[in-house]
Structure 1
Amino acid sequence: MTPPEIFDRTLRRLRRDRAAAGYADHAFLREAMLEGIAERIDAVTRDFSDVLDLGCFDGSFVAPAGATITRIDPGRAFAAGVGGIQADEDRPSFADGAFDLIVAAGTLDTVSDLPGALALARRALRPDGLFLGAFTGGNTLSTLRAVLREAEGDMPVARIHPQVDVRAAGDLLMRAGFALPVADVETLTVRYGNVWGLMRDLRGMAGTNLLPGTPPLRRDTLSRIDQAFTARAHPDGRTAERFDIIYLTGWAPAPSQPQPARHGSATASLTDALKSRS
């Protein structure tokens, strides 16, 4: 069965093309994600030779020394700017086992078929290959959500797409067939002088609404959004917005990896162990 199209693919490409020229001025979220991914790569005691940058933006991810890197992006401008391939993350056409490291920073939250994208990434990895992903989820944009609900009153419109929480992210890794899956979250708080600064950042990082058929905001609604956002300002006049960065770590299965103990293979009784502590 074909999964539903949650996001407008054409609009997603156009928004990324619009953002490409000035992206560096609004790239703080992806920069934070890449720092977290670099720390996780540094903690791995092995070398990588073939790397895929899945959703590459401006190509700012630096591959490990000596590795060959392939970059793809759903936007034509981003892909062309780094000599990469234009393709959606849930529709790539790579051979099974083509890579030993896949990095996906900042795009998975707007992939229509996220389970499919993760399954394709797992298939594209060699045995014991590593997948590292990072995207915004959880309670991201909680302030903007609140002011939108307040401004639109009794007839709110879905203008921020549903967010994946950290528990669901871990479940998705397992569903995709990754071994040793880990999902964790880090929260980044950014303070804005007004709501227009937040909206400029979202446009500049290609992070605006991609839900199909969303009507535009009316002028009076925008005024109420501005007022509601300003009303939440701290004493210094700046309003805090929240970004939850969810990190995914998973390995392509391999016989050399640690395996869970076979059911019934324990040599000690839990009941006896608990009695010994009483």
Structure 2
Amino acid sequence: MASNLPPAIFSAARKFARARRARMLQRRGDAADWLPVALVEDALERIEFMRLAPDRALVIGAGGDELGRVLERKGARVTVAEPGAIDLEAPYPAGGYGLIVSLGALDTVNDLPGALIHQRVALGEGGVMIASMVGAGSLPRLRSALLAADGERPAARLHPAVDARSGAGLLQRAGFKRQVADSWTLRLRYGSLDTLIADLRSQGLTSALSDSAPPLTRSGLERARAAFLEDADRHGRVVETLEILTMTGWHD
């Protein structure tokens, strides 16, 4: 009998482990935080542009505390939740929110259409959802480096991701009255592959795939390091990019 369950692309245990490790690294004070900082800044710009003034707001994901403080200063009653503290693929325990902001929390759910439906249902009348995540086309230099490392037998090491066109379709499928999906680029400069990977690890951005790829061999890692720097500038720096997908949906 065929199962109606979505495929288990991501592992809950691996997501929990990488999030716990990221929290430990962030406590050191010198860990990279460029992604949550950028997501919060972008979310605030959108909230200001739309002149949103929700009575109640739910903020999920990295950087949620900072965004929550800003919304509270604007008069909102805010609930902040780490992704692991709320099941994004189940009905939410509370509803009636005027605003739900998801910061990098939905890109590792196995049932993304279902997760969007649960967020729509948790909104009150006229409520707005803003969901940002790492989108399709991200980390091209890292992807090329890993392909060079694996040679003729490439392993799945990076997450599948959604582009803006698919994002709009997902919002429509989830039943949002109006839908907007767009993407923007975050550009970073690195002098080594190892530093990039360390920054991804400290922000909980390493692999959470259910099917673990085999570890790189020593020679494979050297090939990856060399391939990463092939297009370095005269200062030995490589421009790596993340394409951030932001989906905005309005409740009836």
Q: TM-score, normalised by structure 1?
A: 0.83
- 8 A Cα contact 2:180 2:248, kept in partner: yes
Choose which of 6, 15, 37 in structure 1 pairs with 2:43.
37
Q: Choose the corresponding residue for 1:52, options 53, 58, 71.
A: 58
Runs of 4+ in structure 1 over 3 Å off? none
Distance 1:229 1:49 in 2: 47
Aligned to 1:3: 6
Task: Give the Å deviation of 1:58.
Answer: 6.0
CA–CA distance in structure 2, aligned partners of residues 49 and 105 of structure 1: 20
Match of 2:227 in 1: 228
Equivalent in 65, 68, 72 of residue 77 of structure 2 = 68
Task: Give the drift of 1:221.
Answer: 1.0
In structure 2, C-alpha distance between the alignment counterparts of 1:118 and 1:208, rounded to whole Å: 23
- Cα separation, 1, equivalents of 2:174 and 2:231: 41
Specify the SS of the correspondent of 1:155: coil
Amino acid of the residue matched to residue 235 of structure 2? D
Count of paired positions: 242
What does 1:237-276 align with in structure 2 at a 5 Å threshold?
A: 237-253=236-252
Single out whichever of 105-114 and 61-70 deviates more from structure 2.
Answer: 61-70
The root-mean-square deviation of aligned C-alpha atoms, in Å, is: 1.6
Q: Is the 8 A contact 2:107 2:134 kept in 1?
A: yes
8 Å CA contact retained: 1:53, 1:70: yes
Separation (CA, whole Å) in 2 of partners of 1:140 and 1:105: 16
**Residues 219/109 of structure 1: CA separation in 2 closer, same or farther (3 Å cut):** same
- The letter for the 1-side match of 2:133 is F
Alignment match, 1:12: 15
How far apart, CA to CA, are the structure 2 residues paired with 1:46 and 1:196?
41
Quickly say closer, same or farther: Cα 1:159–1:36, change in 2 above 3 A. Answer: same
* 1:21-59 deviation per Cα after TM superposition (whole angstroms, max 9, x unaligned): 333622211211111110111122342111111224562
Instruction: Say yes or no: does 1:176 pair with 2:140.
Output: no
Counterpart CA distance in 2 for 1:99 and 1:244 is 28
Q: Distance in 2 between matches of 1:107 and 1:46?
A: 21
Following the alignment from structure 1 to structure 2, what is the Cα–Cα distance between the partners of residues 14 and 187?
28
Q: Residue in 2 aligned with 1:26?
A: 32
Task: Report the Cα distance in structure 1 between the residues aligned to 2:222 and 2:52, rounded to whole angstroms.
Answer: 54
Contact between 1:137 and 1:164, CA under 8 Å: does it hold in 2?
yes
2:175 counterpart SS class: coil
Taking structure 2 as the reference length, the TM-score comes to: 0.91
The answer on whether the counterparts of 1:52 and 1:101 sit within 8 Å (CA) in structure 2 is yes
Percent of residue pairs identical: 38
Which structure's CA Rg is the greater one?
Answer: 1
Counterpart residue number, 1:109 = 107
Return the structure number with greater relative CO, CA threshold 8 A, min gap 6.
2
Q: Distance in 2 between matches of 1:213 and 1:138?
A: 20
| In 2, Cα distance between equivalents of 1:7 and 1:234 | 36
Question: Cα distance, 1:226 vs. partner?
Answer: 0.7
Distance 2:78 2:166 in 1: 29
SS at structure 2 position matched to 1:61? helix
Query: Which stretches in structure 2 are left out of the alignment for 5+ residues?
Result: none
